[in-house]
């Protein structure tokens, strides 16, 4: 079984990006991302309604890092520490050498290749550093932008689950993509 350890926190660099730890100083950006109906459109979670909610969300992210059950990074452009998005590994299954990757990005930065760049780097982190065997991504079937990112990064569609999740009075489909460490 895998043993995850996120201390010291792994700051990750790509050509244009720095993926860094999210702190309470980032609460305004976290609030902006998680309270925005456009950013949250395909994420079946309640919108963050206040700065307090934002701080709670950051505390939850931090708690998962400290207890080694999940890890999120703030996505920043080199030379600017403002968080434009969040990316990370959730629902980690050390017993199956598998983890789920998820991400969100401020709409102002869509279409600039930021997410594919971050995902590509986190794939290598997942396989090389965390020793994962597979990475999955769970998306809303209508989220075509995310689907295209995953395909670009080599993920393969594994399943389309019909009305498998109940959220806010509706049954939602979900699509599972995966990538194996070859």
- Would you say residue 99 lies in a domain? yes
Q: Give the pLDDT band (50/70/90) at residue 102.
A: very high
Q: What is the mean pLDDT of the chain?
A: 97
Q: Is the dihedral of CA 71, 86, 102, 155 positive or negative?
A: negative
User: Cα angle vertex 84, ends 89, 122, to 5°?
Assistant: 30
User: Cα angle vertex 29, ends 119, 113, to 5°?
Assistant: 30
- Helical segments of 17-169, H only: 27-34, 51-66, 114-124, 144-152
- Would you say residue 64 lies in a domain? yes
Contact 57, 30 (CB under 8 A): yes
Number of domains in the chain: 1
**CATH code of the domain in which 133 resides:** 3.40.630.30
- Would you say residue 132 lies in a domain? yes
Specify the pTM: 0.95
Query: What is the percentage of the chain residues whose pLDDT exceeds 70?
Result: 100
- Would you say residue 151 lies in a domain? no
Q: What domain range includes position 80?
A: 12-138
Instruction: Give residue-wise pLDDT tens across range 119-141.
Output: 999 999 999 999 999 999 999 99
Look at residue 16 and tell me whether its pLDDT is greater than 90: yes
For residues 110 and 106, what is the distance between their CA atoms, to the nearest angstrom? 7
* pLDDT of amino acid 95: 97
Average pLDDT value for residue range 31-39: 95
User: Cα angle vertex 45, ends 43, 50, to 5°?
Assistant: 120
Distances (CA, A) of 103 to 2, 94, 159, 168, 176: 23, 20, 20, 22, 15
- Would you say residue 160 lies in a domain? no
Look at residue 66 and tell me whether its pLDDT is greater than 90: yes
- Would you say residue 149 lies in a domain? no
* pLDDT of amino acid 182: 86
Instruction: Give residue-wise pLDDT tens across range 135-174.
Output: 999 999 999 999 999 999 999 999 999 999 999 999 999 9
Count the Cβ atoms, other than its own, within 10 Å of residue 16. Answer: 14
- Would you say residue 177 lies in a domain? no
């Amino acid at each position: 079984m895998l043993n995850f350890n996120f201390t010291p926190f792994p700051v990750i660099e790509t050509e244009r990006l720095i993926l860094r730890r999210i702190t309470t100083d980032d609460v305004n950006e976290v609030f902006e991302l998680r309270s925005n109906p456009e950013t949250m459109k395909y994420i079946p979670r309640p919108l963050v309604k206040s700065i307090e909610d934002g701080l709670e969300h950051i505390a939850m992210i931090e708690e998962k890092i400290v207890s080694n059950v999940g890890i999120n990074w703030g996505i920043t452009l080199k030379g600017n520490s403002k968080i434009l998005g969040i990316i990370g590994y959730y629902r980690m299954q050390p017993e199956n050498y598998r983890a789920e990757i998820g991400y969100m990005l401020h709409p102002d930065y869509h279409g600039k290749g930021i997410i594919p760049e971050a995902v590509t780097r986190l794939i290598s982190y997942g396989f090389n550093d965390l020793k994962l065997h597979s990475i999955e991504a769970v998306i809303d079937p209508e989220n075509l932008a995310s689907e295209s990112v995953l395909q670009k990064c080599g993920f393969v569609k594994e399943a389309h689950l019909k009305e498998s999740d109940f959220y806010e009075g509706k049954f939602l489909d979900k699509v599972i993509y995966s990538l194996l460490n070859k």
